[in-house]
Amino acid sequence: MALSPERQIALLASTHEMAVAFLEDIKHVRETVARLDPERGELRRLSAVLRRWLIDGDLKLIAVPRIGKMLLLAPDNKPLIKSNKLIPFPFCESGGAVLFGLWVRAGMAERADISRQLPDFDPERTVDLIIDSFLSQPVLWLEGKEVSRRAVIKFVANVASGVHSDTAQTDEEKLVDRLRHAANVRLDEGIPTFSFHPNVVVSPNLEFKVDPLRIDCVLAEMLTAASFLARSKSVSDLEEVIRRELFPREASASPHPSS
């Protein structure tokens, strides 16, 4: 339903401060995802922005009076979801961002007796999703159990010191906590090295030990979420509309392409 002019003006005013924060935050997000060697702390702090934008709902509120519905770029994970239902993954990470110069997509560990086929999987294929679908998309699997992007953002923000610090309480949080052991990437003498620890599958009660030099798969999915957000056309469109709203003189002074 289209907004009335009066309602649009009211929503623009009530979300003005959010819009200013969005411009400040998207600059930070773009700078972080562009780094070849992001630090753990940077990825952990991204969770505060992503939680506010996506889970608390700021992004939708900002977008409604300015561009309407948001569509967010995401990897096409339907073949992975389908495959996991047929043969559960011992471990799989969606991935799709560059970390230490290494691009990993659908990194998985498989049992030796399984010959998995993914005939319809294209690692570079993307889809546009509404915010709720972007959050609910599965991005990690352990013993066949799915973990959504929403669960990753909430865990890092609410448990793993992104915003708050706590211990894993729910079954979902405990599953994400286990996944932090499963796989990581680090630089060894300048060479990006991917490691997988199979004992995570057989030992569910491992105590997580933080290694400041390693980016675990949960933090890697934080980077992936931020990377796809930064590349989304709706995000760029919203950014441009807010700039015109805040800096009308600059917008009017900019050259317009000839028709």
Write the DSSP string, 24-36.
HHHHHHHHHHH-S
Look at residue 259 in the predicted model and tell me its pLDDT: 34
Q: Which domain holds residue 69?
A: 8-244
d(CA 212, CA 36): 16
Q: Does residue 160 form part of some domain?
A: yes
Q: Is the alpha carbon torsion for 151, 153, 154, 155 positive or negative?
A: positive
Sheet holding 102-109, edge to edge: 102-109, 91-99, 138-142, 145-148
Q: Does residue 56 form part of some domain?
A: yes
Q: What is the dihedral of CA 143, 87, 138, 180, to 10 degrees?
A: 30
Q: Does residue 254 form part of some domain?
A: no
Q: Does residue 227 form part of some domain?
A: yes
Per-residue pLDDT reduced to its tens digit, 153-174: 999 999 988 677 778 899 999 9
Cβ 47 vs Cβ 163: under 8 Å: yes
Q: Token pair of 21, please?
A: 């924060």
Number of domains, the chain: 1
d(CA 90, CA 141): 7
Cβ 105 vs Cβ 123: under 8 Å: yes
Cβ 149 vs Cβ 136: under 8 Å: yes
Q: In order along the chain (259 residues), what is the average pLDDT of each group of 10 residues?
A: 89 96 96 91 94 97 97 98 96 94 91 90 98 98 96 95 82 92 87 83 65 88 97 98 88 50
Task: Find, among 108, 118, 135, the residue nearest to 51 by Cα.
Answer: 135
- 102 forms beta bridges with 99
Q: Does residue 259 form part of some domain?
A: no
Buried b (16+ CB within 10 A) or exposed e, 130-154: ebeebbebbbbbbeebbbbbbbbbb
d(CA 99, CA 215): 9
Q: Does residue 45 form part of some domain?
A: yes
Look at residue 190 in the predicted model and tell me its pLDDT: 84
d(CA 193, CA 180): 16
- Residue 208, C-beta contacts closer than 8 angstroms, at least 6 positions apart: 177, 180, 181
Rounded (to 5) percent helix, strand, coil in the chain: 50, 20, 30
Look at residue 166 in the predicted model and tell me its pLDDT: 79
Task: Find, among 115, 105, 109, the residue nearest to 144 by Cα.
Answer: 109
Q: pTM of the prediction?
A: 0.91
Q: Does residue 250 form part of some domain?
A: no
Cβ 139 vs Cβ 148: under 8 Å: yes
Q: Does residue 154 form part of some domain?
A: yes
Half-sphere exposure in the Cβ direction for 38 (13 Å, CA): 30
Look at residue 182 in the predicted model and tell me its pLDDT: 87
